[in-house]
Structure 1
Amino acid sequence: MKTTISQVHKYVDQEVTIGAWIANKRSSGKIAFLQLRDGTGFIQGVIVKAEVEEELFQKAKGLTQETSVYVTGIVRKDERSPLGFELGVTNVEIIHEAVDYPITPKKHGTDFLMDHRHLWLRSKRQHSVMKIRNEIIRATYEFFNENGFVKVDPPILTGTSAEGTTELFHTKYFDEDAYLSQSGQLYMEAAAMALGKVFSFGPTFRAEKSKTRRHLIEFWMIEPEMSFVEHEENLEIQEQYVSYLVQSVLKNCKLELETLGRDTSKLEKIRAPFPRITYDDAIKLLHEQGFDDIQWGEDFGAPHETAIAESFDMPVFITHYPTEIKSFYMKPDPTRADVVLCADLIAPEGYGEIIGGSQRIDDPKLMKERYEAHNLDAEAYKWYLDLREYGSVPHSGFGLGLERTVAWIAGLEHIRETIPFPRLLNRLYP
């Protein structure tokens, strides 16, 4: 019976064949242990010399790391194994022998591993990270589908910036200037006016010359946009969504979290509702903690976000930022024009902002004023103003950074491990 490692629990005490790679191997005079991986998981294969032909035992002892094989054996329960099973090997067929595989079980430097990212992905740790990333993506689709959202795909090439900044990747679009998308938000607002509640999931690009452990040049964003939803309801949807992601990973990625050594007790308490703190109160909190460098009207940096997060054991919303430091499309608080109806969601344990969201301006007159104040090209953004001219409604949305969320849930030190092939300031290979 041909199967995969993830399915061996169905075949206890039966003989199966698995296509796999040799992740590692050790042997003594009488027994050989093969660490097998097939993409779905890892399992140990055991070959006892006294129970097999001498030729098979010698073949097993000679297997090299990352050699591809078909392994046949009896599935046995094994409580010592993280998987709960092992394979009593009865035959090994070599598909392709790997010679001098560069990533050995010894410790390697980060640059070496990044240069060999295409191979480093095969390791047990990286396998676990990618499985957690996949679970977050799966749970994202499940959450939004179950809550009446429609998936819409915004363009990657755009003629304008969503944020009105200069940190864009420029390219030529035939005879016009174009840019790689920073965000699909503006297009998602148009989709929300047609379909009510929508979400996108796609790549975004930021030409920031940053080398911090939280930044990537290319990353993936989940961006919901919702008609007839105002600020407070927007926050409630965000905290429900994030809680759903965390609980889904806890339920479906126990082995992967264990492999990464993640303290799951910190994740188990992540359930809506989340605490909220206004920007005003966050400034006061920082001053009380000795951060005299930050003044009202300035944006928070990583140390400030970490200090605020340490006052809570849950993700925390920082709401009502100053109008002057936020994007042109955010709606002012009706009671205070100097702040907007927005929030950043800060993850615990020093992982920083994972969501930015706001209620959007729905008044065409105010939006025109914002165009002028931000020196935006009225012709280029005319279509965006049309959304306010023809049946404008209160609407809100947010963007969740997938990689930062993976880093937090998986407990990773650096964001570069959260994406299969990271694009960093000085890295475009492999």
Structure 2
Amino acid sequence: MKTTIEEVSKYVGQEVTIGAWLANKRSSGKIAFLQLRDGTGFIQGVVEKSQVAEDVFQRAKSITQETSLYVTGTVRIDERSPFGYELAVTNIEIIHESVDYPITPKEHGVEFLMDHRHLWLRSKRQHAIMKIRNEIIRATYEFFNHNGFVKVDPPILTGSAPEGTTELFHTKYFDEDAYLSQSGQLYMEAAAMALGKVFSFGPTFRAEKSKTRRHLIEFWMIEPEMAFYEFEDNLKVQEQYVSYIVQSVLKNCSLELKTLGRDTAKLENIQPPFPRITYDEAIQLLHDKGFTDIAWGDDFGAPHETAIAESFDKPVFITHYPTQLKPFYMQPDKNRPEVVLCADLIAPEGYGEIIGGSERIHDYELLKQRLEEHHLPLEAYKWYLELRQYGSVPHSGFGLGLERTVAWICGVEHVRETIPFPRLLNRLYP
């Protein structure tokens, strides 16, 4: 019976064959322990000299790291293993011998590992992170599909910039200027006017010359937009969604979280409602914590976000930022027009902003005024303005950065480990 490591629990006491790679091994005179992986998981294969042919045992002792093979053996329960099962090996068939595999069980520097990212992905830690990333994506589709959202795919090549022009990747689109998308938001607003509640999931690009542990040049965003949803409605969707993906990871990725050494008690607490503070209150909180250099109207940096998050054991919304700090499309507070109806969601434990969202301006004249104030070309945004001419309604949306969210849920320090092939300021290879 051919199967996978993930499925061996169905075959306890039976002989199976698994296509796998050798992740590691150790052996003594009469027994060899093979750490096997097949992409679905990791399992230990036990080869006892007295139970197999001599050539099989010699193969087990001489096999090299990352050699591909078919392993046949009997599945048995092993309560000492985090996985819960092991394989009593009866035969080994080598498919391809791996020679001088560069990533050994010893310590390697980050740059070396990044140069070998195509191989580093095979390690148990990276495997766990990628499985959790996959679970977050699966749960995202499940959440939005179950809540009446329609998946819409905005373009990656655009003629205008939703977040301003300073961080754009420019390219030529035949005889026109074009840019790699910073966000699908503007197009998602158009889709919301047609389909009500929509979401996108795709790559975005920021030409920001930053080297922090929170930044990537290319990253993935989940961007919902909702017609007839005002500011409060928007915040409720965000906390329900974030709670949903965290609880899904806890339910379906317990082994991966254990592999990463994640403190799951902190994640179990992630349930709505989330705490909220205004920008004004955040400034005061920072002053109380000794950040005397920050004034009203200043944006928050990573140390500020971390200090604010330390006061809460759940993600915290910071709401009502100054209008001058935020993009042109955000709806001002009617009672206080110098601030906008927006919120950043700050993750606990120093992981920073994972969501930015707002109610969008739905008044034609105000949006036109904002575009002019930001010195953006009206012709390029003509189609976006037209959304406010033909049955405009209050609407809201947000964007969640997948990699920062993966980093937080996994408890890993740097976002470079949360995407299969990270694009950083100094890295386009592999």
If the length of structure 1 is used for normalisation, what is the TM-score? 1.00
Structure 2 counterpart of 1:406, one-letter code: V
1:19-58 correspondence runs (5 A) = 19-58=19-58
What secondary structure, in the 3-state scheme, does the structure 2 residue paired with 1:388 have? coil
The residue number in structure 1 matching 2:378 is: 378
CA–CA separation in structure 2 for the residues paired with 1:51 and 1:406: 44
Q: Deviations over 1:17-74 (max 9, x none)?
A: 0000000011000000000000000000001001111111001101000000000000
CA–CA separation in structure 2 for the residues paired with 1:371 and 1:291: 34
The residue number in structure 2 matching 1:117 is: 117
CA–CA separation in structure 1 for the residues paired with 2:249 and 2:403: 15
Q: Deviations over 1:281-337 (max 9, x none)?
A: 000010011101110001100000000000000000000000011000000001000
Structure 2 counterpart of 1:102, one-letter code: P
Q: Deviations over 1:250-303 (max 9, x none)?
A: 000000000000000100000000000000000001001110111000110000
Structure 1 counterpart of 2:140, one-letter code: T
1:274-293 correspondence runs (5 A) = 274-293=274-293
CA–CA separation in structure 2 for the residues paired with 1:240 and 1:250: 15
Residue 423 of structure 2 is aligned to residue 415 of structure 1: no
CA–CA separation in structure 2 for the residues paired with 1:26 and 1:288: 56
CA–CA separation in structure 1 for the residues paired with 2:263 and 2:418: 18
1:110-149 correspondence runs (5 A) = 110-149=110-149
Residue 304 of structure 2 is aligned to residue 309 of structure 1: no
Structure 1 counterpart of 2:273, one-letter code: P
Residue 204 of structure 2 is aligned to residue 242 of structure 1: no
CA–CA separation in structure 1 for the residues paired with 2:23 and 2:392: 58
The residue number in structure 2 matching 1:187 is: 187
What secondary structure, in the 3-state scheme, does the structure 1 residue paired with 2:388 have? helix
Cα RMSD between the aligned structures?
Answer: 0.4
CA–CA separation in structure 2 for the residues paired with 1:225 and 1:146: 16
Q: Displacement of 1:167 after TM fit? A: 0.8
Choose 394-403 or 51-60, whichever is displaced more: 51-60
CA–CA separation in structure 1 for the residues paired with 2:374 and 2:52: 77
What secondary structure, in the 3-state scheme, does the structure 2 residue paired with 1:389 have? coil
Q: Deviations over 1:345-404 (max 9, x none)?
A: 000000000000000000001111111111110101000000000000000000000000
The residue number in structure 1 matching 2:150 is: 150
CA–CA separation in structure 2 for the residues paired with 1:387 and 1:118: 44
Residue 411 of structure 2 is aligned to residue 401 of structure 1: no
Q: Displacement of 1:343 after TM fit? A: 0.0
What secondary structure, in the 3-state scheme, does the structure 1 residue paired with 2:324 have? helix
CA–CA separation in structure 2 for the residues paired with 1:215 and 1:223: 18
The residue number in structure 2 matching 1:168 is: 168
CA–CA separation in structure 2 for the residues paired with 1:22 and 1:190: 51
Residue 208 of structure 2 is aligned to residue 208 of structure 1: yes
Structure 1 counterpart of 2:51, one-letter code: E
Gaps of 5+ in 1: none
The residue number in structure 1 matching 2:70 is: 70
If the length of structure 2 is used for normalisation, what is the TM-score? 1.00
CA–CA separation in structure 1 for the residues paired with 2:297 and 2:97: 62
CA–CA separation in structure 2 for the residues paired with 1:398 and 1:181: 16
CA–CA separation in structure 2 for the residues paired with 1:95 and 1:307: 53
The residue number in structure 2 matching 1:81 is: 81
CA–CA separation in structure 2 for the residues paired with 1:50 and 1:89: 11
Residue 203 of structure 2 is aligned to residue 232 of structure 1: no
The residue number in structure 1 matching 2:322 is: 322
Structure 2 counterpart of 1:256, one-letter code: E
CA–CA separation in structure 2 for the residues paired with 1:331 and 1:51: 73
Choose 218-227 or 157-166, whichever is displaced more: 157-166
CA–CA separation in structure 1 for the residues paired with 2:201 and 2:321: 26
CA–CA separation in structure 1 for the residues paired with 2:122 and 2:166: 38
The residue number in structure 1 matching 2:219 is: 219
The residue number in structure 2 matching 1:8 is: 8
Structure 2 counterpart of 1:351, one-letter code: Y
How many residues matched? Answer: 430
Where do 4+ consecutive residues of structure 1 move more than 3 Å? Answer: none
Structure 2 counterpart of 1:360, one-letter code: R
Q: Deviations over 1:155-193 (max 9, x none)?
A: 000001011231100000000000000000000000000
The residue number in structure 1 matching 2:102 is: 102
What secondary structure, in the 3-state scheme, does the structure 2 residue paired with 1:204 have? strand
CA–CA separation in structure 2 for the residues paired with 1:202 and 1:169: 16
Gaps of 5+ in 2: none
CA–CA separation in structure 2 for the residues paired with 1:351 and 1:298: 20
CA–CA separation in structure 1 for the residues paired with 2:164 and 2:189: 16
1:259-278 correspondence runs (5 A) = 259-278=259-278
The residue number in structure 1 matching 2:427 is: 427
Structure 2 counterpart of 1:350, one-letter code: G
CA–CA separation in structure 1 for the residues paired with 2:155 and 2:110: 34
